Structures are given as C-alpha cells and as structure tokens.
Structure 1
Amino acid sequence: MGRSNYSAPKFYPQHEANCPAYGTFWQTAFITVPFGGSFPFNQVGRSAGGICITNTDLSVIRIPQAGDYRVSFIATINTTLNPVFPHIPVISIYVNGARLANAQGDFNIQINDPDDTGCHQLVGEAIVYIPANSTLRLVNNSFFNDQSIVTCDNGINAVELTIIKVS
C-alpha cells in the first residue's frame, strides 16, 4: 500500500457575516436622563456576535458586524417624579452618534392630564442597517422644554434594549 493523499478536513469557522448577532441590555435603577443624554444600562443578558456595552460608557452598545438589525426598546416613564405637562418624552435611536434619518428611530408618548401621574411605557422598534464596527445609543431627544426623562424601577426594568441581526 502506498501513501494516501487524503488529509483530514479542516474546520473553517463560519464567516462572521453569517454568525448570529444579538444582545439584550437593561437598567434596573431609577435614572434621570437630561435632554441630549443617553440611557445607561447596568445589566447585560444573552449576547452573541460581539454585541456588547463599551468599557468606557455604559450607554454605548458596540456592534461589530454589518447588517440589518431589529432594534427594540421599552422605557418606563415616571410622571410622578417629573410632573411636566404636557409630558412628551422622546427617545431616539442613534447609530455612530447620529439620529436615524427621516425620524425612523424617534418614538414618543404624550400625556396631557396632570392627574395621570405614574409609570407609562414608551416603546420603540425599527429595522435598521448598521455598518460594521458601529455604536448604538438610546438618546433623550425630548425637545419639549428640553425636559429630562425620569424612569421608574418599582421592581421592573427602567429601560430595556434588544438588538437582533436579521440579515
């Protein structure tokens, strides 16, 4: 018998562009985010594909892979500790330091009645193209009186962000 030209197959890791990428982040404390400020996160859930909070700023999410992403968030808005009426909190999705074009990532609720105090949910969701090696933040873009956003915690998440790569 002669020598075989057969060699064992080599393992080639799946190309990064085809790997799953997702992450979930949330905040468990009362926070006050001034106009123009970003929402910080103090908890990290399951993640893959390199999506993570940056080491230097707990409000900045790093996204290494380019692609289309479903970005969704839920924030609890506290009108008891911040009784500004009409209460019009606006949260915007920023990618690489810029708001998404055409108001795609701008979400708000409007509470007119000063007797309607408590915790209210502001929810946003968009499918967004994100370039490789990008950052993502949720920003208080409440232009009405440049108001701060105060969250609730009451044993619930004050803010939750989920990012899932869909293509």
Structure 2
Amino acid sequence: MKIVSIQITVIVILLNFLNLSNALLRRCYSCRSRGELGSCKDPFNFNATDVESEPGLTAIPCASGWCGKVIEGGGTYATDDYDQAIQRMCVQRGPDDNQDRCANTVYNYKKVYMCFCQGDLCNGSETINQLQFKKIITIGAILTILHRFL
C-alpha cells in the first residue's frame, strides 16, 4: 500500500513539473471593455481556450512576464465618464519589489485602480491561478512523502 501511494505521489509531482514548460511562456489577456459592452468586464469568465472564439479578447506573449488590469471610472474617480472601463494588458515591467499588488494610481493621466501580477494569463479571473494550484499540490505531495518516511 505504501509503495502505491508513493508511486502516485511521484507521478503527480512529475506531471506538475512537465507542465511547467507552459509557465516559461508568460501570456497576458489583452482586451478593453466599457460598461456592459465587451468581454473584458468583471466578472471575467474566460480561460485560455476561449480566447480564439471571443472577439476583442486575445492572449498575447509578454516578455516581462507581468500582466496588468486597469479599472477606470465608474466609482470614486468617475469625473469624465460614467461607465467603468476595464483594460487587461501586458506591462513592460512590474513593481520594483516584484510583488503582485493592486493600488490606486495614475495611468495615462487618469486616476485608476491598477493590478499587477506575474504568471501565465494571471490578469484573468480573480480565482487562484493554475500555477499556484499546482505549486500547492506539489508541496502537499512532497509533505505526504516526508510524513510517511519520517
């Protein structure tokens, strides 16, 4: 029974590492929506396979590996426009401390709420992304092995 459990754990770890090659190519969603128009608005219900069939939504390669999401108007900063605009994009560089974050800032001379994240298609939904999930599974598998042998 122990050997079967160890074999399954090793297979899970190997599958996670084999799938990490996709993480080397970082992509970001690229789109813009205003109000209820367009596919870029929140909640963002698309994944990598939906990109090809959804007009106005693309997954672009991002050399920096940093994706961004900008929310403009529709709230505290709604001075010129009454509808909220959401834009998802690749940013040239992330924060100096390399930490994912969201904050109020000025972008293109407008006050906005902007989020930065690093990871493949991380500027999509607000749920846990696949890479983080795989890391958690891998760590759990390693801890299981250590627990059984110690």
TM-score normalised per structure 1 = 0.27
Question: Which structure features the higher share of strand residues?
Answer: 1
Question: Which structure features the higher share of helix residues?
Answer: 2
TM-score normalised per structure 2 = 0.29
Work out which of the two has the higher radius of gyration on C-alpha atoms and give 1 or 2.
1
Identify the structure with bigger relative contact order (alpha carbons < 8 Å, sequence gap 6+): 1
